[in-house]
Structure 1
Amino acid sequence: MKKALLFAVMLSFSVTQASAWGQLGHYVIGLMAERQMKKSVLAKVEKVLYPMSLGRSGTWMDEIRSDRSYDYANSWHYLTSKNGEYDPAHQEKEGDAFEAIQRLKAELKAGNLSQKEEAEKLKMLIHMVEDIHQPLHVGTGEDRGGNDVRIEFFNQSTNLHALWDSGMIDRKGMSYSELADELFRRLTPAMKQKYRGATMEDWLKEAVALRPLVYKLPESKKISWVYMYESNDALEERLVAASVRLAQILEEIYG
């Protein structure tokens, strides 16, 4: 009985971790976005999200998966793109991250929402903008965004999606504020201009361009330091890009 309960808890943890950037990833992106935003805009956003912070609110959309009343949004965490294009025909019928980001952004800009509606839509938007920058949230449509690719990471069984969500970030052994500090100091005006000038279609192309790196696995599927070393720059760049674009979108809505 105890073994069965332990297995159920471990399975639940595994599924949760495989659903999006892990908690640290979301916190890092949110904190860096806060530091880039105009104070007047950040104040408006914080008022809507209160008592949650911007960083903390990024995990809310994963947490509500336990509430069946939000099942309609289950497929909004990801999308399918074969070669960097957005094709509605390849998406889930309930919606996808690309479509939902654009729709919620328009709804928030239009206003006329109740306090609860605005807060929930904003938290969803924040989460999805962050998620879509994890390369495996722009999936091929063949392996559930890497969830079906079983690997061993430092001798621990996991999957490729979970590795990019949280495995490599957690392995750094840093708090989210420490990692945010480290990444934020590298953010240059030129990088901001580049990221802010990209379209959402460009975001998909960026994810697809990283697939050869993401799927560069040994036949044994046992990975550790070499894979982390080769992937680290891309992983950190995705966190930085997400923070710039999240700040940009929030300023477009509340600026």
Structure 2
Amino acid sequence: MKKLFMIGLIGTSIALISWGFKGHRAVATIAQKHLNSNTAYVVSAYLKGESMSDVATWADENRNTTTAPWHFLNLPLGLTHEQFVKFVSESDNNVYTAILKTEASLKDNNLTADQINEALKYLIHLVGDAHQPMHISRKEDKGGNTIQVRFDSKGTNLHSLWDSKLIDHEGLSEADIAKNYDVATAAQIKQWQSDSPMEWIWESYQISSELYAQAKSGQDIDEIYYQKYIPVIRKRIDQAGIRLAGELNKIFLNERVKTTTVKLVPPAPIGTTNAPVVRLENVKNFIGLTVSVQGKVYTVKDIGSMVLVNLGAAYPNQLLTVALKGPAKDLGSQLDNKTLTVEGEVIDYKGKPEIIVSDPAKIKF
């Protein structure tokens, strides 16, 4: 049985963390929204119920001397596109080759569920890395880590500035970042998903080359710089999310999860739709998809046309609202303080996830 690929360590590893926590989670959240239904089922199953954003920083948190080089690519400045392609094609043990080899692993039908789980977590992270301009940069300054600058009256470096400082300056929550950055048009989505990983990193190389041309050690990064480059960061994160979704949709186009090899988290799916099981705190990431989810009932309210059951917390802090209609409405009086399992399509109602249930068989408690 073929094992998940391992890339040997070549050269000196550099501890780089791209996009930071918020950026990587935003890439994963955007990607999750653009998965087709079959891919979403497969990804949820292989991630054992965790959302893509939950595992977005796993590759950084589990970095070692072997995997450290997978997160970046060192290049000399001044390359033409032709020279760039030749240089990258002849290289190994970097973010570009790691993406290619991870994708090849995911297409291997002989992988175990645990191997697929690990490869997925790497791919989710590495596509984000490829879109962070300072991860396609120079070896001599360690991707901008040794170029000291000041921003928001604090010392930092060029790499950290692009990892997280500019994003943090916006003051947006994780949810708002994902929402506000996910603005690609249908034409952009089509174009971005047709581009190859070579083009992703070429784009990053062009941006980092521009940043290097104007970078000065000790530079005071002002509001003009921020206003110029925050749209670039927004676009790169959006592109990473859209492209990650495109890659996963292609890889898992005809994939069918074998329940004998994939262990889903409890509760077991109910009904006959074979819906993936997701955690209550992650259900917001599955808008438009049919899932099975379990949670404690905090409040029940009969509003006449339906009974609203809030899971995870009382209104307005609930993690999920289950709207009982028709025959299922009669269950409302039995659900106070119960833990129930519900299966159905997750919809967005005024910014909150909701599942509408008419069939009593879709509810268990």
TM-score range, shorter chain: 0.7 to 0.9
1:196-211 alignment to 2 at 5 Å? Answer: 196-211=193-208
Q: Does 1:64 align with 2:62?
A: yes
Distance in 1 of aligned mates of 2:69 and 2:115? 19
Which region of structure 1 is more displaced relative to structure 2, 78-87 or 105-114? 78-87
Distance 1:155 1:122 in 2: 39
The answer on whether the counterparts of 1:78 and 1:131 sit within 8 Å (CA) in structure 2 is yes
Render the CA deviation track for 1:164-220: whole Å, top value 9, x for unaligned: 111111111111111111122x21011112211212221122112213542334674
Q: 2:88, 2:119 → 1: CA distance?
A: 22
Do 1:21 and 1:165's aligned partners in 2 also have CA atoms closer than 8 Å? yes
Distance 1:117 1:233, change over 3 A: same
| 2:19–2:129 CA contact under 8 A, matched in 1 | yes
TM-score, length basis structure 1: 0.85
Bigger relative contact order, structure 1 or 2 (CA pairs below 8 A, ≥6 apart): 1
Cα deviation for residue 57 of structure 1 reads: 1.1
Equivalent residue for 1:224, pick from 209, 222, 225: 222
After superposition, give the CA deviation of every residue in 1:94-117 in whole Å (9 maximum; x if it has no partner).
Answer: x11111110110111112122221
Aligned length: 233
Tell me which structure has the larger Cα radius of gyration.
2
Q: Which runs of 4+ in 1 moved over 4 A?
A: 88-91
Matching residue of 1:75: 69
Q: Which structure shows the higher strand fraction?
A: 2
Task: Please state if 1:195 is matched with 2:192.
Answer: yes
**Structure 1 residue 88 displacement after superposition:** 5.4
Give the deviation of 1:249 after TM superposition. Answer: 0.8
Does residue 147 in structure 1 map to residue 145 in structure 2? yes
How far apart in 2 are the matches of 1:210 and 1:120? 30
Match of 2:256 in 1: none
Residue identity opposite 1:63 in structure 2: E
Unaligned stretches of 5+ residues in structure 2: 1-13, 254-365
TM-score, with structure 2 as normaliser: 0.60
Q: 1:142 to 1:161 in 2, by over 3 A?
A: same
Q: Report the identity percentage.
A: 29
Q: Distance between the aligned counterparts of 1:207 and 1:124, measured in 2? A: 19
> Which residue of the other structure, out of 150, 153, 173, is the alignment partner of 1:175?
173
Give the Cα–Cα distance (whole angstroms) in 1 for the partners of residues 88 and 235 of structure 2.
28
Distance in 1 between residues matched to 2:157 and 2:217, nearest whole Å: 14
Q: Which residue of 2 aligns with 1:166?
A: 164
**Whole-angstrom distance in 2 between the partners of 1:81 and 1:32:** 29
